[in-house]
Amino acid sequence: MNSGPERKGRLTFTQIRGWIDEIAHQTEIRTIIFAGGEPLLLGPDIFAAISHARLRCLSTRLVTNAYWALNDARARDICQKLVDAGLDELNISIDDFHLPYVDPLNVRRAFQAARRMDFQSVVVVHCTGPTTTFNDEQLDALLGEQLPRLFDGARERTLFDTPGRRPFVCISNTSLQAVGRAGQCLLSSDIEMDERWERRSREIGGCPWAVRSPAITPDGHLVSCCGFEVRGNEVLDIGDLAGHSLTELLDQADRDLPLNWIALEGPYAIMDFLKARDPTLPFHERYGSYCELCQHIVTDPAIQKALFDNMDRRVFHILQRREDIKAVLQQQAEVEDWLSEPAIEPQPTGPMPEYQTTVTGGHAHG
């Protein structure tokens, strides 16, 4: 999203509770992420919201900057309240862009308190680039140990072969992206341009987050994702929840052609398609991430116009892809049904026959 101390918007507990109920009963979404801004600024409401999600059997994650961990006792107290509310995963953010506002010792205190509590996982979220100053070494020194990284040099998920310990602790080590405000204040030399990531993005194709991981803004808009500040964007802002139910807006997004194009074919395929039709479109030579390219497509007036002008040419492919996905899901459901069927009961065999046949070395003996 687009966090900062100047942003004052917030949701009420009544709103959050209503959406949690709707999500639990009428959608397939099973995880609620409380992010911000800073969700703990909601005070008692945030604990009540987590408890309510837990009551509805939804798993929960909370992303915080640890402003509250002013001393060890307070760090323990807040972590305990989060555990008591039923929070599954705590994420603590630290990087060059949080440090002007939050003492790094808060992060250490929050992390040390959290790792001793009964969370499922505790993740330190750390974002770096070629010119950032708070890098891996400083983070290891702050935490007093070298924790496993979620992403390796190729930014692919590292597999940990020893889950089981609770909580699972690690660093989510991501790279800076020139999206939102960062796109205005960072230079291209501040962003790591990784060719392997570009190749991988093309292989992945459709954006896995678009609509599948929607977000609600502080003023109650449902947006397709939290890739950047998408509130008000003609493509990615789905609509105002004041006038529609969440399920209505999700259905609307499911039928929206540009969103389907992004979700099913992805920003790189869109760029390749549009560039082939008009090589003068102002695409950059390279992008640091999926979202950087997507942001350019949906905010640059010339590219956005080309997206709308050309989308009817992709209708057939998009519908075909939806049918393919439906077929795969149907097959998966059938296999799962089949696997969950009770084993066939052995038929009664009656008394053991007096004679047995033992087959040994090809000779049968009566």
**288 touches ligand SF4 (CB under 6 A):** no
CB 149 within 8 A of CB 162: no
Least Å distance, CB 104 to ligand SF4, is 29
Least Å distance, CB 262 to ligand SF4, is 5
**209 touches ligand SF4 (CB under 6 A):** yes
**307 touches ligand SF4 (CB under 6 A):** no
Q: In what order do the strands lie in the sheet with 215-216?
A: 215-216, 221-223, 237-240
Tokens representing 267 are 């920003």
Least Å distance, CB 75 to ligand SF4, is 32
Least Å distance, CB 294 to ligand SF4, is 3
**Closer of 94 and 294 to ligand SF4 (Cβ):** 294
**290 touches ligand SF4 (CB under 6 A):** yes
Number of residues that bind ligand SF4 (CB under 6 A): 14
Indicate the residue whose CB is closest to ligand SF4. 227
**Closer of 212 and 275 to ligand SF4 (Cβ):** 212
**262 touches ligand SF4 (CB under 6 A):** yes
**191 touches ligand SF4 (CB under 6 A):** no
**134 touches ligand SF4 (CB under 6 A):** no
Interaction with ligand SF4 in 222-251: which residues (CB under 6 A)? 224-225, 227-228, 236
**291 touches ligand SF4 (CB under 6 A):** yes
Least Å distance, CB 197 to ligand SF4, is 13
**216 touches ligand SF4 (CB under 6 A):** no
**Closer of 119 and 209 to ligand SF4 (Cβ):** 209
**207 touches ligand SF4 (CB under 6 A):** yes
Judged by CB under 6 A, the stretch of 50-58, 65-73, 205-213, 336-344 that binds ligand SF4 is 205-213
**206 touches ligand SF4 (CB under 6 A):** no
Binding interface with ligand SF4 (CB under 6 A): 207, 209-210, 224-225, 227-228, 236, 262, 267, 290-291, 294-295
